[in-house]
Chains A and B, each alone.
Chain A
Amino acid sequence: MPQRFLRIVTARSQDPDTAGWLYGNVKRVLCLLGVIAIAGCAPRVHAATSTVAPEGVAASAPAAAATTATPDAAVSQALNTIDSQLSAVNGQLNAANAGLHTSEGNPAQ
């Protein structure tokens, strides 16, 4: 197997794209060996699964920024959105609470 790999490398040595081709294959081999940290081969998320919606936008509407996101990026974006949405809930709930502890008074008296 290693000899065959080297033969292929030698045969492709005149190819102007050899460097890129070699890089891709070395990365692929490293990924197969599980050396993910070096090769950076974490699986990409298909665009169809990365539809995290910003606050106030229907979840079914694909978010443009997420279409090329890695899972980590998509999750981070979703968490930012969720934090913003929960912050809105907190603010509004506190405001409503203030109203429920208020009495109108009577300006006529």
Chain B
Amino acid sequence: MNARTIARGVATLTLTAGLGLAGSVAVDADTPVPSPSASASPTPTPHLSLAALKVRCNSAVQRRLGTLGADDTFVKQSSALTSADRTALEGQISADQSGLTALDGTIQADTTFAQAHAECELIVTDYRVYVMEDPKIHEVIAADAVSNANGTFETLIPELQSLINASSVSATVKAQAQADLNDLTSKVDASHTSISGVTASVINLTPAGWPGNQVDLKSARSNIKTARADLTGARADVSHILQLLG
């Protein structure tokens, strides 16, 4: 679990760094980035054969199935997710996998370029795998992990209070440790406030709400980052308390 998390973290950090330099990246990078109304645009004059279009659409489906498969594995194995969230995400992933597979079958059976073109666009507009489903899944796991960390801190706080009370350090040092513990407690409370409702705000987002629901994803990310900063501060408080108590 830890090795996988670290490996994934390194990979995503690398990707994030790359994105920072390159800006937005189109997943189907061999094609232009579509406008929001791409699905409503008229069918272009075929510059591909029907067979070539089908290959391209199949490739797009397979890439998304690969991402969903990886997400599904991660959802199944994550120890951070609540049972209800795991069930909900697994259901959504499974529905996307079935829908995309069926859509690919339909496209491969199409007999006209216009038909295949219209249905190929549904791979993006009906699923939003990369811009919505995938980040949503990661945000739900992150939010649940924050909640778990909050719970662990809450269990730790009385342990630290006992340590401070029983410590034989000077009254001055004990007061410093108590101030750190009070700060830790307020940070955990703040984390609670930041993370409250985050999972509920994103877990049921659907492609139909795109691009409007991008605001919800960004807001959730911001709240998770705030909670993470609070918990990182709380973690530093613990280290300082232990250092003070020797």
Chain A residues within 8 Å of B136, by CB: 96
Task: Give residues in A with beta carbon < 8 Å to B.
Answer: 34, 36, 42-43, 45, 49-56, 58-59, 71-72, 74-75, 78-79, 81-109
B69 to chain A, nearest CB (A): 15
Residue B25 at the chain A interface, CB threshold 8 Å: yes
Contact of B134 among A42, A83, A88, A99 (CB under 8 A): A99
Chain A interface helix/strand/loop/mixed: helix
A106 to chain B, nearest CB (A): 4
| Contact status A94-B12, CB under 8 Å | yes
Given contacts A59-B154, A105-B124, contact A95 B12 (CB under 8 A): yes
Chain B residues within 8 Å of A89, by CB: 142, 145-146, 149, 224, 227-228, 231
| C-alpha gap A20/B43 in the complex (Å) | 91
Task: Give residues in B with beta carbon < 8 Å to A.
Answer: 1-2, 5-6, 8-9, 12-13, 15-16, 19, 23-34, 38, 44, 53, 56-57, 59-60, 78-81, 116-118, 120-121, 123-124, 128-132, 134-136, 138-139, 141-142, 145-146, 148-149, 151-156, 158-160, 162-163, 166, 168, 214, 217-218, 221, 224-225, 227-228, 231-232, 235, 238, 242
Chain A residues within 8 Å of B28, by CB: 104-107
| Contact status A96-B135, CB under 8 Å | yes
| Contact status A74-B19, CB under 8 Å | no
Given contacts A59-B152, A81-B152, A92-B138, contact A107 B163 (CB under 8 A): no
Chain B residues within 8 Å of A82, by CB: 149, 152-153, 156, 231, 235, 238
B202 to chain A, nearest CB (A): 9
| Contact status A96-B139, CB under 8 Å | yes
| Contact status A97-B235, CB under 8 Å | no
| C-alpha gap A95/B135 in the complex (Å) | 7
Contact of B139 among A74, A90, A92 (CB under 8 A): A92
| Contact status B148-A55, CB under 8 Å | yes
Can you name the residue of chain B whose Cβ is closest to the Cβ of A85?
A: B149
| Contact status B16-A97, CB under 8 Å | yes
| Contact status A106-B31, CB under 8 Å | yes
| Contact status A83-B235, CB under 8 Å | yes
| Contact status A105-B156, CB under 8 Å | no
| C-alpha gap A85/B231 in the complex (Å) | 10
| Contact status B12-A101, CB under 8 Å | no
Given contacts A90-B228, A96-B135, A104-B128, contact A85 B148 (CB under 8 A): yes
Can you name the residue of chain B whose Cβ is closest to the Cβ of A88?
A: B145
Chain A residues within 8 Å of B132, by CB: 99
Most chain B CB within 10 A, of A51, A56, A93, is at: A93
